[in-house]
Amino acid sequence: MAVTASVLVSFIALELARGRFFPRQASREDNRLDVAVTLLFPLISLGVLSASTGLALLLIPEHQGALADWPWWGMLLTLLLADDLTQYWWHRLSHTSRFWPLHRAHHSASYMSVRVVYRNNAFYYAMMPGLWLSGLLIFFGFGWVYVVYAIVKVSVIIGAHSSVRWDEKLYQWSVTRPLMWVLERTISTPATHYAHHALTQDDGVGHYTGNFGNLLFLWDIIFGTARITRRYPSEFGLADDREHGHEPWATQFLYPIFRSKRRATALYWPPGKPPE
């Protein structure tokens, strides 16, 4: 936890140094939501991991540490499948009408920043299959391998959302272009993930109906949802927010406990549709 917090703080410092941590596009509701998520996401994610390991300890205590003698690469491969691949499909499922309300908050920001990394509805994480399976694997003995895996994954995800576009210069330098060809097809980068947050995908850059990968962009390559342009969208956010204004932070974070009063949103009841 301390190392991942250090990664986050480092990117925050870079954004502050470049004057990008307080984007002019951020509304009062954006600021409130970003603060709420920053404070509560660690509690939700650690709560899910603890609940998963606790249930395993209660139901199958004799299997605790049963896989602790696996080689590290076997544990890593299992984590990539159980956590990152399931998160790809959970993310993709969250762009369907039924689950879009749980993910809408992540796309309602009209800016890219470390502030957006964990900006989701609370139930999006509480129901995330990868967190529940990770807790089970920790119970089976994946502890330290999971810690290293989580640090790498968090670093990639934060880097893909940050307003500090670390990949931009690497695309420009001829010596690093071959490396970037491999890297952008392996992990999420600012260029590929920014496209997922674009306001529109009619410009040939935005791609909010694809580029779902979190740690590995490779899943998008395999399942045909990738768009690689090495360019960055000019605008982010949701069209209905542009037209009707931002939803209250509590509605975005705690839907369906709180529901929107306007019909032109997925947060109205019954659930609306994601952007077409």
Q: Is the pLDDT of residue 266 over 90?
A: no
Paired tokens of 103: 């993910």
Domains of the chain, residue spans: 2-17+27-254
- Tens of pLDDT, residue by residue over 182-234, are 999 999 999 999 999 999 998 999 999 999 999 999 999 999 999 999 999 99
Q: Compute the average pLDDT of residues 119-144.
A: 97
Predicted confidence at residue 275, as pLDDT, reads 46
- 136: enclosing H helix or E strand: helix 129-137
Q: Compute the average pLDDT of residues 98-115.
A: 96
Report the largest interatomic distance among the alpha carbons of the chain, rounded to a whole angstrom.
Answer: 57
What global pTM score does this model have? Answer: 0.93
Burial of 233 (0-12, 13-18, 19+ CB in 10 A): buried
- Tens of pLDDT, residue by residue over 26-52, are 999 999 999 999 999 999 999 999 999
Predicted confidence at residue 276, as pLDDT, reads 42
Predicted confidence at residue 212, as pLDDT, reads 98
Q: Is 258 left (phi over 0), alpha (psi -120 to 50) or beta?
A: beta
